Amino acid sequence: MNGEINVVALVRGEEQYIFMFDEANRTETLRMLGRYAADPELAFTWYDAAVLSQKVREMVPAKSIKTSTAASSNTSSGQNVPTSVGTSSKVSKTAPRFNLS
């Protein structure tokens, strides 16, 4: 793993959605975009999920995951970095916040 933390964000009115992820957690980030789009209490739409998913895929191509997953499984801690953070007045009550430092 190259140690980069990637960020995609969306601001919709007063809601702000910030997703932070690395190579090892790309798939979980894509899943979280879908969970947010499926939540009727959020202004986050399926279109938003599609656009941000495309950005995530461009930032971390699938071919880089195969090599990074094998490398990350050989780390001494074996722990993965959390994938994403959603923040808004509504999301902050239900979505976990992660410190990626």
The string of pLDDT tens digits covering residues 54-96 is 999 999 887 755 544 444 444 444 434 444 444 443 443 334 4
Place of tokens 């997953």: 69
The string of pLDDT tens digits covering residues 22-43 is 999 999 999 999 999 999 999 9
Q: Measured between alpha carbons, how far is 44 from 30 in angstroms, rounded to an integer? A: 14
- The pLDDT score that the predictor gives to residue 33 is 96
* Cβ–Cβ under 8 Å, residues 53 and 29: no
| CA proximity to 93, closest of 12, 39, 26, 53 | 39
